[in-house]
């Protein structure tokens, strides 16, 4: 897709990958609408090419209102999301529904509003998934399954929108140095209490995950990859990025389920837990 001031909509731009991608694409000549529930957080980077908009993907009316004055969208980057950490046994129904409302149905809402603006001229939809959309880990069952769902959305939409010249891609990041561990992880208090039957898993896994996230790859790598996808009409449908993603995704493709699970448990020191 050649850039002649193409219009990009990105969700979840208050921080992390969304923020850096919005800033990077605006500097590369794109007109970027940076969606956030708290657009005031983007004022310091606002300019003629980067326009913050109030966008709550949990509310279809909010999505419609945000897009009402945007006549054309050439690129949609579904980036907004968060991770729920807790056992299936202990997480509340409200928490599990909220996880899917944001990570899955939020994507549906934005796509539903954007696709009509894309059908006439074609476009690109890029879903920021996770390498955990291909790998299961304890305590992240809800987050993992929401990203597994996003992978299914991506694959099906690719077929559904191909006749209209709309490309659909999935980016599967590993752990990146963003505010994710500090701001976008929601923990279930019961699971993290001393009385939880899962406390041995928590004490083993949680510190490792937080350390890996906080010491992950530079998020600018994701922004640069998004640009490549936009500008290369033959870019592959799905791409892993980051050290952990590049380690586990190829492994997942060549090992049996049992072999792969053994590798994951060994890597995260889960194989000796009882």
Active site residues: 14, 129, 143, 147
Contacts within 8 Å (CB) and 24+ apart, 208-214: 208/268, 208/269, 209/137, 209/175, 209/181, 210/181, 210/185, 212/175, 212/244, 213/175, 213/176, 213/177, 213/178, 213/180, 213/181, 214/177, 214/181, 214/182
Q: How many whole angstroms separate alpha carbon 11 and alpha carbon 108?
A: 12
Contact yes or no for 137/268 (Cβ under 8 A): yes
Contact yes or no for 234/128 (Cβ under 8 A): no
Q: How many whole angstroms separate alpha carbon 20 and alpha carbon 10?
A: 11
Q: What is the CA radius of gyration of the chain?
A: 19
Tokens linked to 84: 């729920």
Contact yes or no for 85/140 (Cβ under 8 A): yes
Planar angle of CA 120, 58, 22, nearest 5 degrees = 60
């Amino acid at each position: 897709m050649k850039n002649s001031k193409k219009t990009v909509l990105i969700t979840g731009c208050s921080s992390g990958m969304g923020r850096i991608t919005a800033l990077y694409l605006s500097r590369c000549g794109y007109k970027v609408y940076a969606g956030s529930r708290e657009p005031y957080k983007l004022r310091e980077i606002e300019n003629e090419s980067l326009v913050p908009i109030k966008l709550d993907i949990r509310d279809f009316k909010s999505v419609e209102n945000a897009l009402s004055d945007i006549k054309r969208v050439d690129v949609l980057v579904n980036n907004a999301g968060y991770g729920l950490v807790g056992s299936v046994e202990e997480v509340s129904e409200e928490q599990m529904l909220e996880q899917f409302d944001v990570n899955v149905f939020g994507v549906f809402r934005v796509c539903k509003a954007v696709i009509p603006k894309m059908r006439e001229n074609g476009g690109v939809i890029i879903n920021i998934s996770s390498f955990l959309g291909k790998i299961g880990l304890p305590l992240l069952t809800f987050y993992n399954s929401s990203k597994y769902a996003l992978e299914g959305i991506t694959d099906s939409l690719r077929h559904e929108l191909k006749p209209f010249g709309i490309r659909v891609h999935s980016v599967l990041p590993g752990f990146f140095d963003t505010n994710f561990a500090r701001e976008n992880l929601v923990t279930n208090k019961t699971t993290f209490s001393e009385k939880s039957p899962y406390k041995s898993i928590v004490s083993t896994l949680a510190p490792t995950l937080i350390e890996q996230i906080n010491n992950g790859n530079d998020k600018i790598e994701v922004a640069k990859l998004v640009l490549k996808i936009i500008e290369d009409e033959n870019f592959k449908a799905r791409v892993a990025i980051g050290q952990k993603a590049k380690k586990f995704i190829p492994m997942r493709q060549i090992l049996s389920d049992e072999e792969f699970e053994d590798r994951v448990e060994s890597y995260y020191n889960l194989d000796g837990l009882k």
